[in-house]
Amino acid sequence: MVKLSESAKLAGKAKYFADQFEDEGVLYVFRKHPIVMRKGLVLGSLGLLVGPLYTLILTYTNTATPPTMTFFYLSFLVSIGIALLLFFPSWMSWYFSVFIVTDQRFIQITQKGFFSRSVVDMGLNQIQMVNYEVKGLQETLLGYGTIMMQTFVGDLLIHYIHHPAKIQKHLLEILRDNGITATTRLVE
């Protein structure tokens, strides 16, 4: 979550993202909870085992001349490279998926893998209601949930948001500051 200072909001000259209008100020930026990277973390952890397991297999299959410690360290370095390659797409999807609230609109940029990007762009005046939901033990313990925005065109669900109550409150403050009355409701 990024809260920008008043001077940064009023500057108007600084561009924080490519599609920003000249007279548009960025008010709030937030991302999904890091839990969205769990698949990449598991795959990366399994990738760390490749080198040591390969060395272990060579040790038991070739007992006359087992691998040296140098071979082990080199295979472990290769494992680190494999782990990073397996984890990188998940990290990239998390890092480049961002939600931007400006003084004119709400922008959802969702990155999936290397070559897939989705952008939802709606005016702040289209937002009718902002709700949040924290459902289940995992979401409660790890502090994430779903933000639900009801708009004139339909509902926008944003899953895996870190501290959804704080995000919802801040979104409502931005809407009120811009003269837009949106209602809230806690979904259980």
Can you give the pLDDT of all 188 residues of the chain as single tens digits?
555 545 444 444 577 777 888 888 889 999 999 999 999 999 999 999 999 999 999 999 988 888 999 999 999 999 999 999 999 999 999 999 999 999 889 999 999 988 899 998 898 988 989 999 999 999 999 999 999 999 888 899 999 999 999 999 999 999 988 887 766 555 55
CA atoms within 13 A on the CB side of 73: 3
Contacts 24+ apart (CB under 8 A), 44-47: 44/83, 44/84, 44/86, 44/87, 45/83, 46/86, 47/79, 47/82, 47/83, 47/84, 47/85, 47/86, 47/87
Domains of the chain: 2-32+97-179 (2.30.29.30), 39-92 (no CATH)
| β 98-102/116-123 pair status | unpaired
Check residue 164 and give its pLDDT.
94
Identify the residue whose tokens are 């109550």.
165
